[in-house]
Each structure stands twice: as C-alpha cells, then as structure tokens.
Amino acid sequence: MKTRITELLGIEYPIIQGGMAWVAEHHLAAAVSGAGGFGILGAANAPAETVREEIRKVRELTDKPFGVNIMLLSPYAEEVARMVAEEKVRAVTTGAGSPEKYLKLWQDAGIKVIPVVASVALARRMERCHVDAVVAEGMESGGHIGSQTTMTLVPQVADAVEIPVIAAGGIADGRGFAAARMLGAEGVQMGTVFVTAKESIVHVNYKQRILKAKDIDSEVTGMSTGHPIRSLRNKMTREYLRLEKEGASFEELEQLAAGALRKAVVDGDVMYGTVMAGQIAGMISEEKTCREIIDSIMQQAEDVMKKAM
Ligand code: TUI
C-alpha cells in the first residue's frame, strides 16, 4: 500500500510505532522497521547521549529507516533535539507540546518532522511551519492525551490541512487501520499493540496486564493538573483519583506519579506502578511478533475494505 506517508518515510506499510517512554527502545524500533513499518525510539526523559547510543544500536540491527520521538516536557528535550539533527535520523515525532523552536534545526538537517497534535488548531499551526505530516492522536491513546476522540479529530484535521495525516488512538488491527483510512488518514500510529509484541522488552507482568485487560479497564488520571494520563486501573490510579477528588496539590500528585511508569515497565509492579495503555487494550489478547502484527493488520485491512464495497 502506497500513501504519502510510505513515500515520506521510505517504508513499505504506513504503520508507525508510538514513541513510548521506557518501552520504545532499540529492539522494538528495529523490529517494527525491519517488518516494513516505521520504528521509533522514545527519548522520553532520557539525556541525549543515552538516546544517541540507542540510535547506534538500531543501526546495528537494521538498515531500514526509523525515527525518534521527543517528549517536549523533558528537561533534555533541547539537547536531544540537537543530537538527532547530528545523527540525521529519518524523522522526528514530537509529543506533549509544540516543537516550533526546533523546526529550523531539523529542517536544515533534512529530517522529516511529524508533530503529534491533539487539536485542529495545532495541526494548522504546524502546517504553516512547513512540517511534513502530523499525527492526529485521539484520547483513546495511552499516556498523555488530549480531549478529542480519534473518530472526531482525524477527519477534522484531515479537512483542515493539506499535509498527510496519521491517525492514532484506539487502533490495533486491520479494522482500525481501514477506519482510519476512511477518516482521511494516510497512515496509522499504534502504541499499545506494540507494547505486547514479542520483541517488546516490557516486564512480563505489564504485557500480561494488557493481554488480560477488558474494555472498561482504562482510567484517566491527572485531569486536575492539566496533564491527563490514560492507564490501566490499579491501586495507583485509585489512590491518584482519590487524592485528586480530595483536592490534593500538584506537588502531592506529582510525588505519587514520579517514577511510577518505570516501576511498572521495568520492575513489573503493575499494582502500584503506572500501566500506560490505550483503550484498545481490551481487544489485544495474543502476543505476536512485530512482523505478525503488521502483516495481519495489512491482510485484515484489505479483507474488510473489499467486503465493505
Ligand atoms: O505525548 C504523548 N503521550 C505521552 S507523553 C508521556 S510522558 C508524560 N508524563 C507526564 C506528563 C506528561 C507527559 C506519556 N504519554 N502523546 C502525544 C500527545 N501530544 N498527546 C497529546 C499531545 C499534545 C497535547 C497538547 C500536543 C500538544 C499540545 O499542546 C501544545 C500547544 O502548545 O498547543
């Protein structure tokens, strides 16, 4: 399948992996790129040199193109932004803010820029800055979310901009892929399903929590702080929501959440850690390789699109 996204990124299938903190490391990114999609390293809160080493490790595993996601709230965002320009990765995606101040740096280095947006306004602003594409991410996604659903955001962004749009949030199979195409997207970004991939290095407890999740197991914390986070319900989310209801201060809430994602991903503490995952977790029940995930999505998308006509 050829779209402006496969052309832009030099990939076989318009499937992009989300830049998930602690999860999107070199094994996963190389596996997704190796399977014909676009693998992404999540820089999250890591310093530039750590991410540079990860880039080199991906290059040892595959000669296919891949990218880096820069989480703009990171204290290291600026040094990571400069480092990726030196390393000349194929593309940068950004999250949790506007990347305006880094655009010239990346564009001068010939790097494709794909900001993640949660609103039409930011999508328009990004297009005026000549970015190459946008990811329109609905609130079905795991982690930091906006307030529009994928179903409502994607067509509105697709109408508002001429550049290609990638849909994200709630997509994990060929039906979701086909639906995203119908809404005007030329590619999809998926996170949760790749967390469960065989090549994903997350703790077995984290993977099992997603594979066993039901449709209604998802919770949003942090509405009161302005940084809403979607994760799977556990003792952590219950305690957080209780504190929020009682009007706890930002500092108190931050203290509870600090280090909680690492605790779940690395240590496997899925009771007191933060198990970030999207709402589609309930549909994912089988551990597959990245290649199996991508191949089955493309096959199912073709089948359902044929059947619908
Ligand atoms: O960034 C994500 N997902 C994330 S980042 C993350 S780490 C984190 N931890 C604690 C607090 C905040 C983040 C975990 N998951 N997805 C991309 C995304 N970006 N979703 C929503 C946005 C977004 C939201 C507001 C982008 C821009 C924006 O406003 C920018 C502006 O200036 O208008």
Q: Which domains does the chain have, with CATH numbers?
A: 13-201+285-308 (3.20.20.70), 204-280 (no CATH)
User: Each residue of 210-267: pLDDT tens digit?
Assistant: 999 999 999 999 999 999 999 999 999 999 999 999 999 999 999 999 999 999 999 9
Q: What b/e string do you get for 134-165 counting C-beta neighbours within 10 Å, with b at 16 or more?
A: bbbbbbbbbbbbbebebeebbbbbbebbebbb
pLDDT-derived band at 145 (thresholds 50, 70, 90) equals very high
**Chain center to CA of 177:** 15
Average pLDDT over residues 38-43: 98
126 lines ligand 1 (CB under 6 A): no
Nearest CA to ligand 1 atom 20: 145
Element (H, E) at 91: strand 91-95
Pocket test for ligand 1, best of 144, 166, 223, 227 (most atoms within 8 A of CB): 144
Spatial separation of the C-alpha atoms in residues 155 and 134, rounded to whole Å: 13
Q: What b/e string do you get for 40-77 counting C-beta neighbours within 10 Å, with b at 16 or more?
A: bbbbbbbebeebbebbeebeebbebbbbbbbbbebebb
In the predicted structure, residue 172 carries a pLDDT above the cut 90: yes
pLDDT-derived band at 301 (thresholds 50, 70, 90) equals very high
Nearest CA to ligand 1 atom 29: 97
Ligand 1 centroid, distance to 96 Cα (angstroms): 2
User: Each residue of 268-277: pLDDT tens digit?
Assistant: 999 999 999 9
Confidence at residue 309, expressed as pLDDT on a 0 to 100 scale? 81
Spatial separation of the C-alpha atoms in residues 36 and 250, rounded to whole Å: 42
Confidence at residue 204, expressed as pLDDT on a 0 to 100 scale? 98
116 lines ligand 1 (CB under 6 A): yes
Ligand 1 centroid, distance to 229 Cα (angstroms): 9
In the predicted structure, residue 1 carries a pLDDT above the cut 90: no
Mean pLDDT of the chain: 97
